[in-house]
Amino acid sequence: MPSSSQRSLLRGLLVGLLVGLFALLLTPLTCADQAKRLRIGITLHPYYSYVANIVGDKADVVPLIPAGFNPHAYEPRAEDIKRISGLDVIVLNGVGHDDFADRMIAAGEKPNIPVIEANENVPLLAATGTAARGAGKVVNPHTFLSISASIAQVNNIARELGKLDPDNAKTYTRNARAYGKRLRQMRAEALAKLTQAPNAELRVATVHAAYDYLLREFGLEVTAVVEPAHGIEPSPSQLKKPSINCASWT
């Protein structure tokens, strides 16, 4: 029978071994966690561009739905929902263009996965025409067509990714600023060309009610929209309306 002093010594050795073992096991895990690349889900192609430019080679960008699917008509598939389980965060348009993502997240294995609302505090235009009535929308969700709104969204995404990945936060901020600078330069070049146009009083018709953000940024207004709703061809009577019949414009 071991003496009390022997039992104390044995207990001390076991505690020391356990502490050392835990330290040995946890150290590689901590390093692996620090080195782990974020896997960031995106819902729409513009957000792939935003996030890819922000993270560079510091994280992986994963589309939620395969290329070629129309987000307006997309219905979540089992294989796409399953993809969410391998993600760390999802970047959302969040104002009506990717509502399918909410259903995917709710049905997936990570219902509480962090999400980044790219359009948080971004000024929004009201939805107009049939798009507003038919879908019950109150805002135009196509903010990615505005250069100013794109810059605001890039900054939002970079800031929130930095909170999730502090080790790379400065890189994300630096990349976001560089990307915003390129976008501003693009806008300046386009505006210079527009001001030199021989006919500054342009009347603009668009196929889809999505371009108000872009055109208003250059002081232009949409005079007519050809599609009554996304993917719906206009009727002959609609095409004959003076606002759409471009042949009647002078």
pLDDT value at residue 228: 58
pLDDT value at residue 141: 92
pLDDT tens, residue by residue, 173-200: 999 999 999 999 999 998 888 787 766 5
pLDDT value at residue 64: 93
* Cα–Cα dist 126/139, whole Å: 4
pLDDT value at residue 166: 97
* Cα–Cα dist 92/88, whole Å: 13
Query: 180 to each of 52, 53, 184, how far by Cα in Å?
Result: 13, 10, 6
pLDDT value at residue 128: 62
Residue ranges for the chain with pLDDT beneath 70: 1-35, 128-137, 198-202, 227-250
pLDDT value at residue 13: 39
pLDDT value at residue 230: 60
pLDDT value at residue 72: 74
> Among all chains, which residue has been given the structure tokens 């605001």?
152
Q: Is 158 exposed, middle or buried (0-12, 13-18, 19+ CB in 10 A)?
A: buried
Largest CA distance in the chain: 109
Domain 37-124+144-192 has CATH 3.40.50.1980: yes
3-state secondary structure the chain: CCCHHHHHHHHHHHHHHHHHHHHHHHHHHHHHHHHCCEEEEECCHHHHHHHHHHHCCCEEEEECCCCCCCCCCCCCCHHHHHHHHHCCEEEECCCCCCCHHHHHHHHCCCCCCCEEECCCCCCCCECCHHHHHHHCCCECCCHHHCHHHHHHHHHHHHHHHHHHCHHHHHHHHHHHHHHHHHHHHHHHHHHHHHHCCCCCCCCEEECCCCCHHHHHHCCCCEEEECCCECCECCCHHHHCCCCCCHHHCC
pLDDT value at residue 35: 60
Phi first, then psi: give them for residue 237, nearest 5 degrees: -70, -35
- Model confidence, pTM: 0.76
